[in-house]
Amino acid sequence: MIPILPASAWREFRGVAKNKGQNHTTHQALIVDAQGIEHLCYVKASPPGFPMVIAEAIAWMIAKALDLPRPQFAAVILLPVPQLMQHMGLDQHWRRYPTILGYCSSAVPGRHITSRWPFIARRRHASALRHASVAEIAAFDVWAENQDRHLGNFLQTAQGDYVPIDNELILYSLLWLANGLPFGHNSLRAAARAQLKSGDYKRFEAAMILASDQHLPALEDVSPRLRQFILSMAPDTQAGNAFAATVLEFLDARAQPGWLANELGQIS
């Protein structure tokens, strides 16, 4: 199960993120896990009532079960607001809380594949979309109903691997729409359709369908830990059990053989 760390695990501020995205609490910090091991992490906070933390944690746990590229360490953490305010400006609504719930994951050494030069960006994007792991990530996104995956939230490592960042809009209908929080839609499949030639795009979808064969075994492996994590985050046991059952039923239905092929309009 993904660890849930106390505020004392946040040890040292290491800088504001260059690309904060929409969450302006994003920063680098030194986080110490329950074994005393230090991790340089990207950290971001969640306003009360927002499902970002639980979504990111569930996504990381599923990605680990699938052995997808991912940060090697991740945790839910209580963030000490007074300490954080000494290093970065926070909007007024954060300041009323002594601690706020956050999500952290270890920093991935790599570069964004976007560029201010359009022809360089197109070349990098096309190269990424032809990489086997990117089709696997696209399959994961459809399975887990990730509403916001675009080519700007990948890092390319020195070894040529592609590591996705920002998974907070998974389980979109369960976690976001159900709470009255609608968002737009971005997907790797749409990016591949727009940027790849016909033959390359067909191979991309075929690779997605092949990757979906691993979804059901991964779900069977991770389900006990997902249930335990959801219970640990729930306000009470009854609510936790009900939500865990809903999440697992949702993922199970979409992990069945042939589901993704049918969703893509293909014959598996």
Q: What is the pLDDT of residues 125-135, one digit of tens each?
A: 889 999 999 99
Q: What is the mean pLDDT of residues 75-95?
A: 87
pLDDT value at position 256? 97
pLDDT value at position 112? 84
Element at 84 (helix H, strand E): helix 81-85
pLDDT tens across 234-246, in order? 888 999 999 999 9
Q: What is the mean pLDDT of residues 187-211?
A: 94
Q: How far is CA 180 from CA 21, 45, 174, 187, in A?
A: 21, 20, 10, 21
Mean pLDDT for the chain overall: 92
pLDDT value at position 22? 66
Q: What is the mean pLDDT of residues 131-142?
A: 95
Q: Which long-range contacts (CB under 8 A, 24 or more apart) does 197-201 make?
A: 200/129, 200/130
Helix axes 188-195, 198-211, angle to 10 degrees: 160
Choose between 9 and 152: higher pLDDT: 9
Lowest-confidence pick of 73-87, 90-104, 243-257: 90-104
Give me 261's structure tokens: 């092929």
> 253 pLDDT exceeds 90?
yes
Helix axes 132-143, 188-195, angle to 10 degrees: 130
Q: Which CATH architecture does the domain made up of 4-106 adopt?
A: 2-Layer Sandwich (3.30)
What is the sign of the dihedral through the CA atoms of 5, 6, 8 and 14?
Answer: positive
Cα distance between residue 149 and residue 132, in whole Å: 16
> 267 pLDDT exceeds 70?
no
Choose between 215 and 21: higher pLDDT: 215
Closest listed residue to residue 258, CA positions, set 221, 216, 222, 219: 216
* Global pTM value: 0.94
Q: What are phi and psi of 144, to 5 degrees?
A: -90, 5
pLDDT value at position 19? 64
Q: How far is CA 232 from CA 3, 62, 174, 176, 238, in A?
A: 10, 17, 18, 20, 12
Lowest-confidence pick of 16-20, 163-167, 187-191, 201-205: 16-20
pLDDT value at position 47? 83
